[in-house]
């Protein structure tokens, strides 16, 4: 026994009993008193909830060529990066995604909800070393991949269009240029671009004007391209006969001493509607609009889609502006100027769809940029069908206007549009030069011009309708000398592309930079002969006359041409036997005579006969036949 009188064994037993008591109490506290608290704490240390990545859908062209897709990126929390495989090609249409993976412009923004998919949820159980215990972890909600978007755009055609725009901006020293190619029967957009553009893969690009798709976002005054709508209103309402001749007003027309004059670029003499379209006479179309009246002009423009959005949900699309009948008649000038495309504001997409209606026989189609949606397995889950909005004009009226547009290219303000490479493809179209609408000043900017051309390729049985705009071209500023040649290059590129050409075009071409790389059309015969001799260009002359009225590549001459001679003024019917339709139309265009034709190939019969005296208002009727 120690000096305190305590038994050591007793002390040891007491300590053991106390320890056991504390443990019992602690266990009781954990297991009974605070059981739920400790269970929750235990779960939180081994169980984690995390989002499962949802694959964003790809964007591709109509043939499955990828424009945009995702690549895995484990360096950040997003789990992916968006890669634009075609670079700047179609970037204004395809768009871009922001740093958070959400679409910020273009298709990426418009269809973000369908592209992004739905993230899933996984409950992950981990061991003490924070390693997932797979057999105890599970996906509570599975991730659902986004849908793949298939555009109506054709990648190859898009490339042709963008190159033509880039070259055109450089050649005409323009601020920008835009173009769109449409299938007139379905409303599908086959190519759509503005230049300059941007690369969506670059973090330093994607701001300012270069990201805008001006085909839908530009509001401008259409100018003379609007004359087809005025013609449609007159013909469809039987207000003006195509044969009605308007008396010569000289270069300018003033209907009362106080009125502001309406002027043409030249003195054209007496003209009917077709000739007025060919020469782009503001005076005649101002008179036609007056006869049609404000109500019918407004109704026809609205029927063509002017002042209404062409798409259902295209972000950034403008409406344009169409004055009401009461606004058109607030003075004695506004309605007249609407006849030649002033006092109205449109967008390029509205105008190209209006021309598509003329090309397809009179039906306004809904513009389409989405062809279909596919799931991650490639199965089509949703397909867009062509949508006919309404019939605008009769097939007869549409056919009459198409013939006018064909004459515009072959003998009017768009002669530079006719292709020397595509002899069998007869274009139709209309030029325009007008002012842009300034939203800040709410007025048209007289110092900011838009040159335009809207063309049909070909004029009959049209495959493509193409609009080209050139913003503020320098020097040559009219549509026939700027936008028109860009249209021609686009069509030549399409027709000579092995994957795009609707027919085989294995035609002999004159190479750029060769001695015969010269536009002889319109040159005096003597000047053409001197040029050919001086530059050692092999040429062959056909016909009689003092001026070259058309030309064609001559397969019988090495890199040479055949030049057709004629006269601008004629009193007797020329001999058209054996000529191609395009050459015959050029001859008749130079003597300002309307032409009707049947068949295909070369001229085998004509009325009036060769050398017959020409009568005012007579119509030339041609029969064509292909070589057997």
Would 488 be classed as within a structural domain?
Answer: yes
Residue 549: the pLDDT is 65
CA distances from 61 to 153, 213, 597 (A): 5, 17, 39
> CA 448, CA 317: separation in Å to the nearest integer?
21
Residue 446 structure tokens = 């007289």
> Whose CA is closest to 253, among 261, 244, 245?
261
Q: How many CA atoms lie within 13 A of 474 on its CB side?
A: 7
Would 128 be classed as within a structural domain?
Answer: yes
State which H helix or E strand residue 266 sits in.
none
> CA 214, CA 317: separation in Å to the nearest integer?
9
Would 45 be classed as within a structural domain?
Answer: no
Question: pTM of the predicted model, to two decimals?
Answer: 0.76
Would 2 be classed as within a structural domain?
Answer: no
Tell whether 69 and 141 lie within a shared domain.
yes
What domain range includes position 553? 525-625
> CA 143, CA 566: separation in Å to the nearest integer?
73
In CATH, what number is assigned to the domain containing residue 103? 3.90.1310.10
Q: Are 391 and 363 in contact (CB under 8 A)?
A: yes
Tell whether 216 and 340 lie within a shared domain.
yes
Would 1 be classed as within a structural domain?
Answer: no
Would 116 be classed as within a structural domain?
Answer: yes
Is beta strand 176-182 parallel, antiparallel or unpaired with respect to 464-471? antiparallel
The DSSP string of 53-91 is P-PPPPEE-TTS-EEEEEEEETTSTTEEEEEETTTTTTH
> CA 90, CA 494: separation in Å to the nearest integer?
17
Number of domains observed in the structure of the chain? 4
In CATH, what number is assigned to the domain containing residue 186? 3.40.710.10
> CA 318, CA 441: separation in Å to the nearest integer?
17
Would 40 be classed as within a structural domain?
Answer: no
Tell whether 22 and 63 lie within a shared domain.
no
In CATH, what number is assigned to the domain containing residue 600? 3.30.10.20
Tell whether 87 and 164 lie within a shared domain.
no
Tell whether 323 and 406 lie within a shared domain.
yes
Residue 152: the pLDDT is 98
Summarize pLDDT for 192-231 with one digit per residue, the tens.
Answer: 999 999 888 877 655 667 888 899 999 889 999 999 999 9
> Whose CA is closest to 233, among 388, 391, 465, 392?
392
**In a 10 Å sphere around its CB, with 0-12 CB exposed, 13-18 middle and 19+ buried, how is residue 609 labelled?**
exposed
Tell whether 131 and 218 lie within a shared domain.
no
> CA 86, CA 268: separation in Å to the nearest integer?
50
Tell whether 162 and 309 lie within a shared domain.
yes
Would 458 be classed as within a structural domain?
Answer: yes
Task: For residue 223, report the phi and psi dihedrals to the nearest 5 degrees.
Answer: 65, -140
Tell whether 480 and 591 lie within a shared domain.
no
The strand ranges marked E within 126-274 are 138-141, 148-151, 176-182, 189-195, 252-253, 262-263
CA distances from 595 to 49, 390, 415, 468 (A): 77, 30, 17, 27
- Among 148, 172, 191, identify where a domain stops: 148
Residue 29 structure tokens = 């506290």
Summarize pLDDT for 448-467 with one digit per residue, the tens.
Answer: 788 999 999 999 999 999 99
Tell whether 370 and 272 lie within a shared domain.
yes
Residue 509: the pLDDT is 44
Q: List helix spans (H) across 95-193.
A: 106-110, 112-116, 155-171
Task: For residue 428, report the phi and psi dihedrals to the nearest 5 degrees.
Answer: -130, 155
Residue 467, helix vs strand vs coil: strand
Residue 179: the pLDDT is 97
Q: Which residue has the tokens 């001197």?
A: 530
Tell whether 265 and 170 lie within a shared domain.
yes
All residues at 6 or more sequence positions from 27 whose CB lies less than 8 Å from its CB, including other chains: none
Q: List helix spans (H) across 388-462.
A: 395-411
Q: Are 67 and 154 in contact (CB under 8 A)?
A: no
Residue 190: the pLDDT is 98
Residue 510: the pLDDT is 47
Tell whether 186 and 94 lie within a shared domain.
no
Tell whether 397 and 440 lie within a shared domain.
yes
Residue 508: the pLDDT is 40
Residue 117 structure tokens = 């998919």
Q: Which residue has the tokens 């000038």?
A: 333
The residues of the chain scoring below 70 in pLDDT are 1-6, 22, 26-48, 50, 73-80, 124-130, 132-140, 204-208, 435-439, 442-447, 477, 503-513, 519, 521-522, 549-559, 567-571, 586, 590-592, 627-628
All residues at 6 or more sequence positions from 617 whose CB lies less than 8 Å from its CB, including other chains: 243, 245, 272
């Amino acid at each position: 026994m120690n000096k305190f009188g305590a038994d050591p064994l007793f002390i040891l037993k007491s300590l053991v009993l106390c320890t056991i008591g504390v443990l019992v109490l602690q266990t009781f506290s954990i297991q009974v008193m605070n059981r739920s608290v400790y269970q929750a704490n235990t779960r939180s240390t081994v169980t984690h909830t995390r989002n499962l990545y949802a694959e964003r859908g790809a964007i591709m062209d109509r043939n499955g060529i990828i424009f945009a897709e995702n690549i895995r990126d484990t360096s950040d929390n997003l789990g992916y990066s968006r890669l634009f495989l075609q670079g700047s090609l179609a970037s204004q249409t395809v768009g871009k995604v922001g740093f958070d993976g959400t679409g910020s412009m273009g298709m990426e923004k418009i269809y973000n909800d369908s592209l992004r998919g739905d993230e899933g949820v996984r409950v992950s159980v981990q061991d003490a070393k924070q390693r997932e215990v797979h057999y105890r972890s599970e996906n509570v909600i599975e991730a659902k991949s986004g849908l793949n978007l298939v555009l109506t755009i054709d990648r190859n055609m898009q490339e042709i269009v963008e190159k033509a725009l880039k070259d055109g901006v450089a050649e005409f020293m323009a601020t920008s240029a835009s173009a769109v190619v449409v299938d007139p029967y379905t409303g599908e957009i086959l190519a759509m671009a503005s230049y300059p553009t941007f690369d969506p893969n670059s973090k330093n690009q994607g701001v300012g004007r270069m990201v805008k798709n001006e085909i839908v976002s530009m509001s401008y005054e259409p100018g003379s391209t609007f004359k087809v709508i005025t013609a449609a209103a007159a013909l469809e309402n039987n207000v003006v006969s195509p044969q009605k001749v308007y008396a010569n007003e000289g270069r300018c027309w003033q209907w009362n001493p106080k009125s502001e004059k309406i002027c043409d670029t030249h003195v054209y003499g007496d003209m009917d509607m077709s000739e007025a379209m060919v020469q782009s006479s503001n005076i005649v179309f101002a008179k036609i609009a007056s006869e049609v009246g404000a109500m019918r002009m407004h109704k026809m423009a609205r029927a063509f889609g002017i002042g209404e959005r062409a798409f259902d949900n295209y972000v950034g699309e403008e409406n344009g502006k169409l004055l009401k009948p009461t606004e058109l008649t607030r003075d004695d000038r506004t309605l007249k100027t609407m006849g030649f495309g002033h006092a109205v504001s449109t967008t390029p997409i509205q105008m190209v769809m209006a021309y598509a209606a003329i090309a397809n026989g009179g039906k306004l189609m809904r513009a389409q940029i989405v062809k279909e949606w596919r799931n991650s397995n490639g199965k089509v889950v949703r397909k867009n069908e062509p949508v006919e909005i309404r019939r605008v004009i009769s097939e007869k009226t549409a056919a009459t206007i198409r013939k006018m547009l064909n004459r515009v290219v072959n003998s009017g303000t768009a002669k530079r549009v006719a292709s020397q490479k595509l002899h069998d493809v007869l274009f139709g179209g209309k030029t325009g030069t007008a002012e842009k609408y300034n939203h800040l000043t709410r007025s048209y900017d007289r110092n900011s011009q838009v040159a335009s051309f809207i063309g049909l390729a070909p004029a009959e049985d049209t495959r493509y309708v193409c609009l080209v705009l050139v913003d503020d071209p320098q020097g040559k500023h009219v549509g026939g000398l700027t936008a028109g040649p860009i249209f021609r290059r686009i069509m030549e590129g399409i027709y000579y592309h092995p994957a795009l050409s609707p027919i085989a075009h294995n035609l002999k071409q004159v190479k750029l930079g060769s001695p015969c790389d010269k536009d002889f059309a319109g040159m005096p015969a003597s000047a053409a002969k001197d040029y050919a001799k001086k530059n050692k260009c092999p040429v062959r002359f056909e016909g009689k006359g003092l001026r070259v009225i058309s030309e064609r590549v001559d397969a019988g001459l090495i890199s040479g041409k055949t030049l057709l001679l004629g006269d601008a003024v004629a009193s007797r019917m020329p001999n058209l036997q054996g000529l191609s339709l395009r050459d015959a139309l050029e001859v008749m265009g130079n003597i300002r005579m309307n032409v009707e034709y049947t068949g295909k190939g070369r001229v085998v019969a004509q009325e009036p006969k060769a050398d017959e005296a020409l009568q005012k208002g007579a119509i030339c009727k041609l029969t064509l036949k292909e070589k057997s």
